Structure 1
Amino acid sequence: MNAQTLATSYLTALEAADLDALLTLFHPDAVVHSPLYGPTPAGDFYPRLLADTGRSSLHLRGVTEGPNLVAIWFRFDWTLPSGAPADFECVDVLELGDDDRIRTLRIFYDTVTARPAFEEETGTSWRG
Protein backbone atom coordinates (compact mmCIF):
# COMPACT_ATOMS: atom_id res chain seq x y z
CA MET A 1 0.00 0.00 0.00
CA ASN A 2 1.49 3.38 -0.92
CA ALA A 3 1.64 6.30 1.54
CA GLN A 4 -1.31 8.20 0.05
CA THR A 5 -3.53 5.11 0.11
CA LEU A 6 -2.51 4.31 3.69
CA ALA A 7 -3.21 7.88 4.80
CA THR A 8 -6.60 7.90 3.10
CA SER A 9 -7.53 4.49 4.51
CA TYR A 10 -6.49 5.54 8.00
CA LEU A 11 -8.34 8.88 8.00
CA THR A 12 -11.46 7.38 6.39
CA ALA A 13 -11.65 4.62 9.00
CA LEU A 14 -10.98 7.06 11.84
CA GLU A 15 -13.64 9.51 10.67
CA ALA A 16 -16.17 6.69 10.21
CA ALA A 17 -15.32 5.26 13.66
CA ASP A 18 -14.69 1.91 11.92
CA LEU A 19 -12.65 0.06 14.54
CA ASP A 20 -12.16 -3.08 12.43
CA ALA A 21 -10.89 -1.08 9.44
CA LEU A 22 -8.53 0.88 11.71
CA LEU A 23 -7.06 -2.16 13.40
CA THR A 24 -6.41 -3.99 10.12
CA LEU A 25 -3.88 -1.24 9.34
CA PHE A 26 -1.88 -2.06 12.50
CA HIS A 27 0.43 -4.86 13.48
CA PRO A 28 -1.08 -6.76 16.47
CA ASP A 29 1.69 -5.44 18.76
CA ALA A 30 1.45 -1.82 17.54
CA VAL A 31 1.62 1.07 20.01
CA VAL A 32 0.09 4.52 19.66
CA HIS A 33 1.82 7.45 21.41
CA SER A 34 -0.80 10.14 22.08
CA PRO A 35 -0.50 13.48 23.88
CA LEU A 36 -3.77 12.80 25.73
CA TYR A 37 -3.73 9.02 26.23
CA GLY A 38 0.02 8.34 26.47
CA PRO A 39 1.63 5.23 24.98
CA THR A 40 -1.13 2.65 24.50
CA PRO A 41 -1.48 -0.55 22.46
CA ALA A 42 -3.43 0.26 19.28
CA GLY A 43 -6.04 -2.37 20.20
CA ASP A 44 -6.77 -0.43 23.41
CA PHE A 45 -6.22 3.11 22.10
CA TYR A 46 -8.79 3.17 19.30
CA PRO A 47 -11.76 1.83 21.32
CA ARG A 48 -11.01 4.49 23.96
CA LEU A 49 -10.66 7.25 21.38
CA LEU A 50 -13.87 6.25 19.62
CA ALA A 51 -15.74 6.10 22.95
CA ASP A 52 -14.50 9.64 23.68
CA THR A 53 -15.68 10.91 20.29
CA GLY A 54 -19.13 12.29 19.64
CA ARG A 55 -18.30 13.36 16.08
CA SER A 56 -15.19 13.76 13.99
CA SER A 57 -14.34 15.32 10.67
CA LEU A 58 -10.84 14.90 9.29
CA HIS A 59 -9.25 17.04 6.59
CA LEU A 60 -6.06 15.77 4.96
CA ARG A 61 -3.43 18.49 4.40
CA GLY A 62 -0.51 16.38 3.18
CA VAL A 63 1.38 13.11 3.20
CA THR A 64 5.12 12.51 3.19
CA GLU A 65 7.09 9.30 3.28
CA GLY A 66 10.53 7.93 3.90
CA PRO A 67 11.93 4.45 4.42
CA ASN A 68 9.34 2.65 6.61
CA LEU A 69 7.78 6.01 7.63
CA VAL A 70 4.64 7.85 6.60
CA ALA A 71 3.68 11.26 8.02
CA ILE A 72 0.08 12.43 7.73
CA TRP A 73 -0.73 16.10 8.31
CA PHE A 74 -4.43 16.73 8.93
CA ARG A 75 -7.00 18.79 10.76
CA PHE A 76 -9.08 16.84 13.27
CA ASP A 77 -12.39 18.53 13.98
CA TRP A 78 -13.09 16.52 17.10
CA THR A 79 -16.29 16.81 19.09
CA LEU A 80 -16.51 15.07 22.45
CA PRO A 81 -19.68 13.15 23.40
CA SER A 82 -21.02 16.17 25.34
CA GLY A 83 -20.79 18.28 22.19
CA ALA A 84 -17.70 20.19 23.39
CA PRO A 85 -15.23 20.92 20.58
CA ALA A 86 -11.63 19.76 20.96
CA ASP A 87 -10.32 20.51 17.45
CA PHE A 88 -6.66 20.45 16.50
CA GLU A 89 -4.27 20.22 13.58
CA CYS A 90 -1.71 17.47 13.85
CA VAL A 91 0.87 15.22 12.28
CA ASP A 92 0.74 11.48 12.78
CA VAL A 93 4.00 9.67 12.10
CA LEU A 94 3.51 6.02 11.21
CA GLU A 95 6.43 3.62 11.55
CA LEU A 96 5.79 0.63 9.31
CA GLY A 97 6.91 -2.96 9.68
CA ASP A 98 8.11 -5.26 6.91
CA ASP A 99 4.47 -6.20 6.27
CA ASP A 100 3.61 -2.50 5.63
CA ARG A 101 1.34 -2.44 8.67
CA ILE A 102 1.73 0.25 11.31
CA ARG A 103 4.04 -0.82 14.18
CA THR A 104 4.17 2.54 15.96
CA LEU A 105 2.07 5.66 15.54
CA ARG A 106 3.22 8.93 17.10
CA ILE A 107 0.70 11.76 17.28
CA PHE A 108 1.99 15.34 17.44
CA TYR A 109 -0.17 18.39 18.13
CA ASP A 110 -0.53 21.35 20.45
CA THR A 111 -2.99 20.32 23.17
CA VAL A 112 -3.60 23.85 24.47
CA THR A 113 -7.30 23.80 23.50
CA ALA A 114 -8.00 20.06 23.25
CA ARG A 115 -6.57 19.06 26.66
CA PRO A 116 -8.82 21.29 28.82
CA ALA A 117 -11.96 20.16 26.97
CA PHE A 118 -10.85 16.51 27.11
CA GLU A 119 -9.98 16.64 30.82
CA GLU A 120 -13.27 18.32 31.69
CA GLU A 121 -15.11 15.61 29.76
CA THR A 122 -13.15 12.57 30.95
CA GLY A 123 -11.69 13.76 34.24
CA THR A 124 -8.10 13.03 33.26
CA SER A 125 -5.45 12.78 30.58
CA TRP A 126 -1.93 11.48 30.32
CA ARG A 127 0.47 14.00 31.86
CA GLY A 128 -2.57 16.10 32.78
Structure 2
Amino acid sequence: MDKKEIAKQYITHLENGNIEQVVALFNQNGMVDSPLYGIKKASEFYRKLKSDTLNSELHVKGIFEEDHTNSIALYFTYKWTLKNNQKVAFDVVDIIEFDNQNKIDKLKIIYDTVTARKLVEEL
Protein backbone atom coordinates (compact mmCIF):
# COMPACT_ATOMS: atom_id res chain seq x y z
CA MET A 1 0.00 0.00 0.00
CA ASP A 2 1.38 3.43 -0.91
CA LYS A 3 1.51 6.50 1.33
CA LYS A 4 -1.59 8.14 -0.16
CA GLU A 5 -3.66 5.00 0.43
CA ILE A 6 -2.43 4.84 4.02
CA ALA A 7 -3.31 8.53 4.47
CA LYS A 8 -6.83 7.90 3.12
CA GLN A 9 -7.24 4.92 5.46
CA TYR A 10 -6.04 7.06 8.35
CA ILE A 11 -8.73 9.69 7.65
CA THR A 12 -11.47 7.05 7.27
CA HIS A 13 -10.55 5.20 10.47
CA LEU A 14 -10.18 8.43 12.44
CA GLU A 15 -13.58 9.72 11.31
CA ASN A 16 -15.23 6.40 12.19
CA GLY A 17 -13.58 6.24 15.61
CA ASN A 18 -11.77 2.99 14.70
CA ILE A 19 -8.84 3.69 16.99
CA GLU A 20 -7.35 0.18 16.79
CA GLN A 21 -7.16 0.50 12.98
CA VAL A 22 -5.63 3.99 13.25
CA VAL A 23 -2.96 2.76 15.66
CA ALA A 24 -2.27 -0.25 13.41
CA LEU A 25 -1.08 2.19 10.72
CA PHE A 26 1.76 3.26 13.05
CA ASN A 27 4.95 1.38 13.78
CA GLN A 28 5.61 0.06 17.28
CA ASN A 29 7.25 3.32 18.40
CA GLY A 30 4.90 5.64 16.48
CA MET A 31 4.39 9.07 18.04
CA VAL A 32 1.84 11.86 17.68
CA ASP A 33 2.74 15.52 18.25
CA SER A 34 -0.50 17.39 19.00
CA PRO A 35 -0.87 21.08 19.93
CA LEU A 36 -3.69 20.14 22.32
CA TYR A 37 -2.49 16.86 23.90
CA GLY A 38 1.30 17.16 23.54
CA ILE A 39 3.69 14.46 22.34
CA LYS A 40 2.41 10.95 23.05
CA LYS A 41 2.71 7.38 21.80
CA ALA A 42 0.09 6.86 19.10
CA SER A 43 -1.91 4.36 21.15
CA GLU A 44 -2.07 6.74 24.13
CA PHE A 45 -2.96 9.78 22.00
CA TYR A 46 -5.82 8.09 20.14
CA ARG A 47 -7.28 6.53 23.32
CA LYS A 48 -7.36 10.01 24.88
CA LEU A 49 -8.87 11.56 21.76
CA LYS A 50 -11.55 8.86 21.62
CA SER A 51 -12.40 9.34 25.31
CA ASP A 52 -12.98 13.07 24.66
CA THR A 53 -15.00 12.54 21.46
CA LEU A 54 -18.65 11.92 20.76
CA ASN A 55 -18.38 12.31 16.96
CA SER A 56 -15.93 13.38 14.26
CA GLU A 57 -16.49 14.48 10.68
CA LEU A 58 -13.44 14.91 8.47
CA HIS A 59 -13.47 16.45 5.00
CA VAL A 60 -10.21 16.11 3.07
CA LYS A 61 -9.15 19.21 1.16
CA GLY A 62 -5.88 17.77 -0.16
CA ILE A 63 -3.17 15.17 0.18
CA PHE A 64 0.30 16.44 -0.66
CA GLU A 65 3.31 14.26 -1.33
CA GLU A 66 6.76 15.36 -2.39
CA ASP A 67 8.77 12.94 -4.49
CA HIS A 68 11.65 11.09 -2.86
CA THR A 69 10.61 11.75 0.76
CA ASN A 70 9.04 9.63 3.47
CA SER A 71 6.49 12.34 4.31
CA ILE A 72 3.00 13.27 3.25
CA ALA A 73 0.71 16.12 4.33
CA LEU A 74 -3.04 15.87 4.84
CA TYR A 75 -5.13 19.02 4.75
CA PHE A 76 -8.67 18.60 6.08
CA THR A 77 -11.53 20.14 8.01
CA TYR A 78 -12.24 18.51 11.37
CA LYS A 79 -15.75 18.88 12.80
CA TRP A 80 -15.41 17.62 16.34
CA THR A 81 -18.22 16.92 18.79
CA LEU A 82 -16.80 16.49 22.26
CA LYS A 83 -18.24 14.06 24.79
CA ASN A 84 -20.16 16.92 26.47
CA ASN A 85 -21.86 17.65 23.10
CA GLN A 86 -19.86 20.87 22.52
CA LYS A 87 -18.90 21.32 18.86
CA VAL A 88 -15.91 22.91 17.19
CA ALA A 89 -14.65 22.91 13.61
CA PHE A 90 -11.20 23.80 12.33
CA ASP A 91 -8.79 23.22 9.48
CA VAL A 92 -5.95 20.81 10.18
CA VAL A 93 -2.67 19.88 8.53
CA ASP A 94 -1.21 16.54 9.55
CA ILE A 95 2.39 15.90 8.54
CA ILE A 96 2.98 12.15 8.43
CA GLU A 97 6.49 10.67 8.43
CA PHE A 98 6.76 7.04 7.37
CA ASP A 99 9.41 4.43 8.08
CA ASN A 100 10.80 2.21 5.28
CA GLN A 101 7.93 -0.28 5.80
CA ASN A 102 5.31 2.44 5.09
CA LYS A 103 4.25 2.46 8.73
CA ILE A 104 3.66 5.86 10.34
CA ASP A 105 6.63 6.78 12.53
CA LYS A 106 5.54 10.30 13.48
CA LEU A 107 2.42 12.36 12.93
CA LYS A 108 2.53 16.11 13.63
CA ILE A 109 -0.84 17.85 13.91
CA ILE A 110 -1.05 21.55 13.09
CA TYR A 111 -4.13 23.68 13.79
CA ASP A 112 -5.35 26.71 15.71
CA THR A 113 -6.40 25.46 19.16
CA VAL A 114 -7.96 28.66 20.54
CA THR A 115 -11.55 27.38 20.57
CA ALA A 116 -10.81 23.65 20.93
CA ARG A 117 -8.48 24.13 23.92
CA LYS A 118 -11.16 26.00 25.89
CA LEU A 119 -13.77 23.32 25.17
CA VAL A 120 -11.44 20.44 26.10
CA GLU A 121 -10.52 22.17 29.35
CA GLU A 122 -14.24 22.24 30.22
CA LEU A 123 -14.54 18.43 29.92
* Contact 2:36 2:117 (C-alpha < 8 Å) held by counterparts: yes
Q: Residue type of the partner of 2:101? A: D
Q: Which runs of 5+ in 2 are unaligned?
A: none
Give runs of aligned pairs for residues 59-74 of structure 1, distance below 5 A.
Answer: 59-66=59-66, 67-74=69-76
Cα distance in 1 between the residues matched to 2:41 and 2:76:
22
Partner of 1:126: none
Cα distance in 2 between the residues matched to 1:107 and 1:98:
21
Matched, 1:86 2:110: no
Q: Residue type of the partner of 2:121? A: E
Deviation of the 1:86 alpha carbon: 2.4
SS at match of 2:46: helix
Partner of 2:22: 22
Cα distance in 2 between the residues matched to 1:65 and 1:28:
24
Normalising by structure 1, report the TM-score. 0.91
Deviation of the 1:90 alpha carbon: 0.5
Partner of 1:11: 11
Deviations 1:16-39, CA, capped at 9 Å, x for gaps = 111221111000101100011000
Deviations 1:22-78, CA, capped at 9 Å, x for gaps = 111000101100011000000111111011101110000000113000100000000
Of Structure 1 and Structure 2, the greater strand share is in: 2
Cα distance in 2 between the residues matched to 1:41 and 1:11:
18
Equivalent residue for 1:101, pick from 96, 100, 103:
103
Identity level (%): 39
Q: Residue type of the partner of 1:31? A: M
SS at match of 1:118: helix
